[in-house]
Amino acid sequence: MAMIQPSFSFSHEFTYDVFLSFRGTDTRNNFTGNFYKALCDGGVRTFIDDRELHGGDEISPSLVKAIEESRIFILVFSINYASSSFCLDELVHILHCFKANGCLVLPIFYDVEPSNVRHQTGSYGEALAKHEERFQNNSEKDKNNNMERLHKWKMALNHAANLSGYHFNPRNNGYEYEFIQQIVRFISNQINRVPLHVVDYPVGLQRQVLKVYSLLDVRSNDEVKVVGIYGPGGMGKTTLAKAVYNFIADQFEFGFEFKLRNSSEGISTIKQRLQRKKVLLILDDVDELKQLQALVGGLDWFSVGSRVIITTRDKHLLASHGIDVTYEIRELNKKEALELLRWKTFKGSNLFGKHIEEWNSLLDRYERIPNKGIQKILKVSFDALEEDEQSVFLDIACC
């Protein structure tokens, strides 16, 4: 099956913070109703659909639009959720958005066992069996279409039940309002997260973000995965890592960017803050062997589904510790370089709107006065070369 590429935007405006999917006859007048009020009271823009009040068996275009304009999806799996074909079709569409857009999907298992949803047993197995029996009485064409629909429902239930979420049993898990407040706090933290600053002109970044995104495989929740980004200084490794972070951070309990300066102190801080949580962690500019030794030996600190992005100049540093999922930062192609030049020259430059004489004057100064920032970056890479390699570099540079 072909992988669905996510749509990509550095700044996406959502109409709703949260979309609630639930079985109305089960929870509208109790848990979901109370949960909806708590979200609204907390300033969370929440879409709740009263479809069962006006009937109908198909998802309306307005509901599809609401799904596609929502940032976070909360699935309230209750005893009779699977008895509603409407809920199941809605679930399929939500997971399509999850795969395509990298949004956060949060299941809540209310008075049901996650295993019943995952394996379609108990009330879920009974409900799906009734759907199948009903489909068997359709015409041949409708029967085939609906059996395919049934298959999608089962796959969606299994997928959703494997995502990190919450489980509440009204008889054994304490006060419901405390459970609700716990989730509302988590959601509030998600929607109020400040994105990392990337760049003013993200030319050429989209294609590289999508490649790293595919390497991270964020849809898989069965392991902790580490991806290394490597390349020379000044090529944009940190920028790329931050852009990936902004793209997928909503799918994790915690996101954290960390620049390791002292290996023992740094690793200790990471362990203290992020232990046993599903995290997205950026370790920027790793250049010491002992930093990776301490980290790779501690991946069991994190919950499965966590992702670690490491940026380094040294590809061999990654390979020596078994980090074989890597991405080499690429320079801009000619089209992208020209686009960046246009942005910098005609829109972002201090020369914008100036006369040609001022352009020529500044160009002459740039030729005579080296850029200190570029010099500093190049010096780090130069110092990392062997002595004979430094000689070759200087010979080429002076030609």
3-state secondary structure of 47: strand
Catalytic-residue membership of 90: yes
149 with 221, same domain: the answer is no
69 with 168, same domain: the answer is yes
* Phi, psi values for residue 168, rounded to 5°: -135, 125
Q: What is the pLDDT of residue 11?
A: 47
CB of 244 within 8 A of CB of 216? yes
Domain assignment of residue 39, yes or no: yes
Q: What is the pLDDT of residue 116?
A: 96
Range of the domain at 347: 334-397
183 with 216, same domain: the answer is no
Catalytic annotation, pick one of 69, 90, 288, 358: 90
Query: Containing H/E element for 43?
Result: none
187 with 81, same domain: the answer is yes
> What letter represents residue 195's amino acid?
P
CA dist 270 and 213 (Å) reads 23
Domain containing 274 — which CATH number? 3.40.50.300
Q: What's the pLDDT tens digit per position in 98-123?
A: 887 778 899 999 999 999 999 999 99
Domain assignment of residue 3, yes or no: no
Q: What are the structure tokens assigned to 269, written together?
A: 């801080």
Q: What is the pLDDT of residue 324?
A: 87
Q: What is the pLDDT of residue 372?
A: 61
Residues forming beta bridges with residue 259, ordered by sequence position = 284
Residue of 318, 320, 336, 341 whose CA lies nearest to 328:
318
Q: What are the structure tokens assigned to 153, written together?
A: 């429902």
Domain assignment of residue 50, yes or no: yes
The set of long-range contacts for 184-187, using a CB threshold of 8 Å and a minimum separation of 24, is: 184/35, 184/38, 184/39, 184/42, 184/44, 186/253, 187/17, 187/18, 187/39, 187/42, 187/44, 187/72, 187/74, 187/106
Q: What is the pLDDT of residue 158?
A: 95
Domain assignment of residue 93, yes or no: yes
Residues forming beta bridges with residue 107, ordered by sequence position = 75
Indicate the number of domains in the chain: 3
Domain assignment of residue 345, yes or no: yes
Distances (CA, A) of 70 to 20, 101, 119, 196, 247: 10, 11, 28, 21, 15
CA dist 399 and 395 (Å) reads 6
- Whole-prediction pTM value? 0.56
Residue of 320, 374, 330 whose CA lies nearest to 231:
330
CA dist 37 and 33 (Å) reads 6
169: alpha, beta or left, given left = phi > 0 and alpha = psi -120 to 50? beta
252 with 321, same domain: the answer is yes
CA dist 293 and 166 (Å) reads 34
> What letter represents residue 79's amino acid?
I
301 with 341, same domain: the answer is no
Among 191, 214, 231, give the residue marking a domain's end. Answer: 191
Q: Buried b vs exposed e over 275-294: b needs ≥16 C-beta within 10 Å? A: eebbbbbbbbbbeeeebbeb
Q: Exposed, middle or buried by CB within 10 Å (0-12, 13-18, 19+), for 77?
A: buried
320 with 341, same domain: the answer is no
Domain assignment of residue 11, yes or no: no
140 with 271, same domain: the answer is no
Q: Exposed, middle or buried by CB within 10 Å (0-12, 13-18, 19+), for 113?
A: middle
178 with 302, same domain: the answer is no
CA dist 311 and 282 (Å) reads 8
Q: What residue ranges of the chain have pLDDT lower than 50?
A: 1-11, 52-55
